[in-house]
Amino acid sequence: MKTFNMHDAKSQLSSLVEQAMAGEDVVIAKAGKPMVKLVPVERDTQPRKPGRFAGRITLSPDFDETPEGVVDLFEGNNR
């Protein structure tokens, strides 16, 4: 386990993150007392399943139609 003080951790953060990603234990201390441990975030390894909400979501029939007044408001033409 490698321990770094807060000041060193600030100046070497990229390097410490790389070490943690490589599986090394990285601890950051303040005034000699261990405060935090850097660990990699676990990533979701399951592939996305497209279509899992099929049949459960509906769109309004006029979804692609935008009233002219709304377009004018977005474009600042509300006078």
Task: Give the model confidence (pLDDT) of 50-67 as tens digits.
Answer: 888 888 989 889 888 888
Query: Domain extents for the chain?
Result: 2-38
Alpha carbon 43 to its chain centroid, in Å, reads 11
Residue 16 clears pLDDT 90, i.e. is over it: yes
**Considering the entire predicted model, what is its pTM?**
0.54
pLDDT grade for 79, boundaries at 50, 70 and 90: low
Question: How many residues make up the chain in this entry?
Answer: 79
Burial of 29 (0-12, 13-18, 19+ CB in 10 A): middle
- pLDDT value at residue 25: 94
Give me the amino acid identity at 27: V
- pLDDT value at residue 36: 96
Residue 14 clears pLDDT 70, i.e. is over it: yes
Is domain 2-38 given the CATH code 3.40.1620.10 in the classification? yes
